[in-house]
Amino acid sequence: MKCLIVDDESFCRDFVATLLSATADCHQASSGQEALEKYKAALASGEPFDLVIMDIMMPGMSGHDAAKAIRHIEKEQKPAKRVNIVMLTALNSSNDAMESFCNAQSAAYLVKPVSKEGLFNVLSKLGLMKR
């Protein structure tokens, strides 16, 4: 599985990458804009990401805006399959959850701090790993 972890906090990116190190080829981005650049490059190379784990609250472009931009790129370029997007947030807000699912078209939503069990449960439900 090829994964892009997007968070403005390096500790969070490194933590999620460590959790996934045995099951995924993890790449990292520190902003929504950098995530879009890496997403486009992976798509252009013919080796797209299977999973994007995206923090919602980031300076500049929010995770919601970056996820919407990814969906727009997919609509234009029509890749063989859509990437699974899992949104992360420090706030457990129903507004964030609705925005994630409805507007950003994410597959799942996790509240920080992320646990290995919670992350692996989500990935298992998405068919990205076996439990």
Residue 115 falls inside a structural domain? yes
CATH number of the domain enclosing 67: 3.40.50.2300
Residue 131 falls inside a structural domain? no
Residue 16 falls inside a structural domain? yes
Give me the pLDDT at residue 103, please. Answer: 64
Residue 41 falls inside a structural domain? yes
* Domain boundaries, position 71: 2-126
- Work out the burial of residue 92: count CB atoms within 10 Å of its CB; fewer than 13 is exposed, 13-18 middle, 19 or more buried: exposed
pLDDT higher than threshold 70 for residue 110:
yes
Question: pLDDT category, 102, cuts 50, 70, 90?
Answer: low
Measure Cα distances from 114 to 20, 40, 42, 93 in Å.
Answer: 12, 27, 26, 16
What tens digit of pLDDT does each residue of 12-59 get?
Answer: 999 999 999 999 999 999 999 999 999 999 999 999 999 999 999 999
- pTM of the prediction? 0.92
Give me the pLDDT at residue 45, please. Answer: 96
Q: Considering its fold, how many domains does the chain have in total?
A: 1
Mean pLDDT of 58-67: 94
